[in-house]
Amino acid sequence: MINLNPTVWQDKAIEKTTAERKEVKGQRESIMADHVLDMIHEFCIQSEDFAQAVAEGGTFAACMTTVAKGVGNSISDIDAYKKAVQFYFPGAEIQVQMQIITEKKQENTKPIMLSLEDLLGD
C-alpha cells in the first residue's frame, strides 16, 4: 500500500524506527527485525493513530526485545507482528486475511459465444 500523502506522524514514525533499526541486538531480534520493521511501517501508513504511538513510543530495539521475549525456537510472523503492535499500542489487534487461489486465470482466452440459433439448429 502506498500512501501518497503521508502525515507528519507517519513520517516521524517511519524515520524513527528506521534509524533505530541498527540498535537491535540479539540473534532472535536481529533475525526478525527487518520483517517486523516493514510491517510496522505498513501499519503506520494504514493508521495515523498507530503512527503517532510509534513516533512517541519506545525504541524499535526495545520493541524487538519484547517481541523476542518468551520465544522458544520459533514464532509465527503473525504473532511477532501482534506483539510489536501491542508494544506501541497496547490492546490493539491485527487482522489477517489469507486466501488460497488454486485456479490460474488463463490469459488470451476468448469467451465462448453461443446464439440461440446455434442451440436450436436449423
What residues contact 26, with CB distance under 8 A and at least 6 apart? 64, 65, 68
Cβ 36 vs Cβ 80: under 8 Å: yes
Rounded CA separation 122/120 (Å): 7
Question: What's the confidence (pLDDT) of residue 112?
Answer: 65
Cβ 111 vs Cβ 81: under 8 Å: no
| Average pLDDT estimate for 84-102 | 90
Rounded CA separation 121/37 (Å): 65
- pLDDT surpasses 50 at 2: no
Residue 81 has which C-alpha cell? 507482528
- Tens-place pLDDT, residues 22-40: 999 999 999 999 999 999 9
Question: What's the confidence (pLDDT) of residue 104?
Answer: 74
The whole-model pTM stands at 0.76
Cβ 36 vs Cβ 71: under 8 Å: no
Residue pointed to by grid coordinates 503492535: 85
Cβ 29 vs Cβ 59: under 8 Å: no
